[in-house]
Amino acid sequence: MRVVFTRVPDGARASCVVERDDGVRYRVREGIGRPELPHDLVHLLVELQLRDDGGFWGAVADGAVFAGMDHLDGRRPPHARRRSDEAIGARKDRLQRAELMAGLVRQIAADPAAGEPRVIRAARDHLATLPDATVDVPAVLAAAARLRDAARVWARTRPGDEVVVDWPRVSGRRAVRR
């Protein structure tokens, strides 16, 4: 799956375009464009770095279509609604964890000097609603570094330019490229 984030002028309506491996494209509506990394790009990078296919982007790659997504083109596969419901249902608890992890990593990324004690304290706060939640501290620090790198790239990206991120192909699915 390929996700294309087009930089919009600050204050303009933002979105990204998902080109799934099955050949279907969707626009994912986001909030208003701001100078910092788009929320959905943060999620994508964190989920990739943590190798977490249980979040939003793993669900989309697996066929989920959320309310904030608009079909652009490509033939939707048979039983697309059922497949979407199954992809979301299989991740019900993991979707919340992915949201919380993105917030945790974003907070750690804001402090380049953060180390293990800071990650552990922040994880306690961010994951307090999840029973038995644990974090891989080195993975969180690596994801934070990736967000800082992406923020530098985004800051240099002009309106109209794109940042493209690929999600690993979902095994067992036939890739269709235009």
Domain ranges of the chain: 2-157
CA-CA distance, 151 to 49, in Å (whole number)?
Answer: 15
Reported as a pLDDT band with limits 50, 70 and 90, residue 132 is confident
The answer on pLDDT for 115 being more than 90 is yes
- The pLDDT value recorded for residue 93 is 83
Of the two residues 175 and 6, the one the predictor is more confident about is 6
The answer on pLDDT for 164 being more than 90 is yes
Which segments of the chain are extended strands (E)? 2-6, 13-19, 25-32, 69-73, 162-166
Reported as a pLDDT band with limits 50, 70 and 90, residue 177 is very low
Range with the lowest mean pLDDT among 32-41, 133-142, 146-155, 165-174? 165-174
The answer on pLDDT for 173 being more than 80 is no
% residues pLDDT > 70 (the chain) = 95
The answer on pLDDT for 73 being more than 50 is yes
Reported as a pLDDT band with limits 50, 70 and 90, residue 92 is confident
- Residue 141 φ then ψ, to 5°: -65, -40
Q: pTM here?
A: 0.90
Count CB neighbours of 134 within 10 A: 8
Of the two residues 50 and 173, the one the predictor is more confident about is 50
